[in-house]
Structure 1
Amino acid sequence: MPAAPTTDRSPLLRPRIFADVPSVTAGMSTRHGGVSGPPYDTLNLGRHVGDTASCVEENRRRFCAALHTDPAWLATAGQVHGSTVRVIDAPRHEPFCDGLVTTTPGLLLAIAVADCAPVLLADPEHEVVGACHAGWRGTVRHIAAHTVATMADRGADPAQVRAYVGPCLSREAFEVGPEVAAQFDDAVVSYPEADGRPHVDLKAALRRQLEGAGVPGAAIEESSHCTLQDTDTFFSHRASEGDTGRMFGAIVLRH
């Protein structure tokens, strides 16, 4: 199930999996619609990449406005490619974690990415939402499953959780070394290149992990977008060799 259609150069993708849930709003930014100059053009939301601070703050304001959320209620994670998930109830930057969970209405949980996958989660019935940052290291450390488990600790039922795996490196684009491929299940590793270099299907790995945590397969939406193959729309750390901006995948409970 793809994300909702958007016009060219849209600043926001809206997951379909939450479209019929009035108590949850979620979105994924693109690189369009902001004020930053190259190489952060234009909607860079990352404060740590070298962009002008005033541009980042204006970009964050615009992103939050597109989600009808006050930027003063933004919560972000420190993202260290680990498996730590924190429960928060107030807007802040939470260091040394890769997942956030809340039951607080109005708190916008945001994950910054530029090739890694943002995973957005919600149990609308029990009013619990979560978000996590899943690169290959976080995925092999089961960050998505840990986020679902933390949501369950706050009253969520995994069988009622809906999930969105946002734009990231596709299987075709995610070439890895054999030492990385060995850490994944064989089912998500392929060898499409003539030289036998392995590729990892990160979205499939996250789907398997979410299903293993109890999330129904029909309640998981995977973005069809690849950040490396569409650098006009998305920031890609790999394509730019590290000199680029960051996008947000974000989710909020409504009052």
Structure 2
Amino acid sequence: MNPHAIPLGTQDLEHGGETVDSFAALGVRAFTTGRDAGSFGTGSDEPVRDVMARWNALRIALDSARLATATQVHGQTILEHDGAWRGWLRGQDADGHLAMSRGTAMAVTVADCVPVFLAHPTGATAALHSGWRGTVAAITAHAIARFTSVGLTASDILLHCGPAICGRCYEVSPDVYGQLTGRQVQSPTTVDLRALIMDQARALGVRKLSVSPLCTRCNNDRFFSHRAGDAGRQLGVILARL
């Protein structure tokens, strides 16, 4: 296992991570990278040139005319992408990406926060970064609402929560726990972000739900984990092929 490896193809990118196999029937590729693909974050001591080389390798491996990313701020802003541009779009202050048509690869960086993937049979897709703030702000619910606002049926949406810190490992303050659950506690308490996200989706009529069994903290040899002291970041990537 080499955390400084520069991936050269999609197989390398997905090795050691997790692929969302249930999306394949829709012509959608979705996956979360792992340590084996190296870090895609620029907040570590690793040379920026190595990180950028991975991003460029990602673009080549995906073979997509468009790649959308953004500076993430733990909010609810979702950027919507059409097919009118080409290249690598690096947006500002957003934690989600959405495309109503095929052909745009979208990526979020994570390390304990939840990579949330949505896909619809029409080719509409979304990739979201949902930490505790994004979960409180209901970024997943906002993405679902964007789908249904253009006539897509919620029950046709496939939703997957990728590798993230699990409910046994994620301890939060009483204040954060209260914001997430609406319940009061007197001491730090563990909470399951993915379970909360799934509840939000169910409340809006999404029925085709899946969740990764992998915890980034429990499987720290396989994934970067902020709680484990890592500065590295893995990617959550989705692409509806043309």
TM-score range, shorter chain: 0.7 to 0.9
Query: Equivalent residue of 1:245, what SS?
Result: coil
Offset from partner CA, 1:121-172 (integer Å, 9 cap, x none): 0112x22111111000110110100011122234432111001101111001
**How many Å separate the matches in 1 of 2:81 and 2:150?**
11
The corresponding residue for 1:17 is 22
**How many Å separate the matches in 2 of 1:221 and 1:80?**
26
Q: Over aligned residue pairs, what C-alpha RMSD do you find?
A: 2.5
Query: Equivalent residue of 1:169, what SS?
Result: coil
Identical counterparts, % of pairs: 33
The corresponding residue for 1:227 is 216
Query: Equivalent residue of 2:25, what SS?
Result: coil
The corresponding residue for 2:50 is 55
Worse-superposed segment, 11-20 or 197-206: 11-20
The 5 A counterparts of 1:157-168 are: 157-168=153-164
The corresponding residue for 1:39 is none
In the alignment, is the contact (CA less than 8 A) between 2:43 and 2:231 conserved in 1? Answer: no
Is 1:251 aligned to residue 238 of structure 2? yes
- May I ask how many residue pairs the two structures share in their alignment? 227
* Contiguous gaps of at least 5 residues in structure 2: 1-10
CA 1:233 to 1:47, structure 2 compared with 1: closer, same or farther past 3 Å? same
Offset from partner CA, 1:33-91 (integer Å, 9 cap, x none): 3xxxxxxxxx111234453222112222444555x434x62211222111112212244
Offset from partner CA, 1:211-252 (integer Å, 9 cap, x none): 112211xx1110111111111100111111xx5211111111
* Contiguous gaps of at least 5 residues in structure 1: 1-5, 34-42
Alignment counterpart, residue 116 of structure 2, candidates 98, 119, 136: 119
The corresponding residue for 1:156 is 152
In the superposition, the TM-score normalised over structure 1's length comes to 0.80
The corresponding residue for 2:106 is 109
The corresponding residue for 1:202 is 193
Query: Equivalent residue of 1:92, what SS?
Result: strand
Counterpart of 2:128, as a letter, is C
**How many Å separate the matches in 2 of 1:173 and 1:75?**
31
Counterpart of 1:44, as a letter, is S
In the superposition, the TM-score normalised over structure 2's length comes to 0.84
Query: Equivalent residue of 2:228, what SS?
Result: helix
Offset of residue 207 of structure 1: 0.4
The corresponding residue for 2:167 is 171
**How many Å separate the matches in 2 of 1:142 and 1:44?**
27
The corresponding residue for 2:34 is 30
Query: Equivalent residue of 2:155, what SS?
Result: helix
In the alignment, is the contact (CA less than 8 A) between 2:18 and 2:163 conserved in 1? Answer: no
CA 1:50 to 1:69, structure 2 compared with 1: closer, same or farther past 3 Å? farther
Query: Equivalent residue of 1:51, what SS?
Result: coil
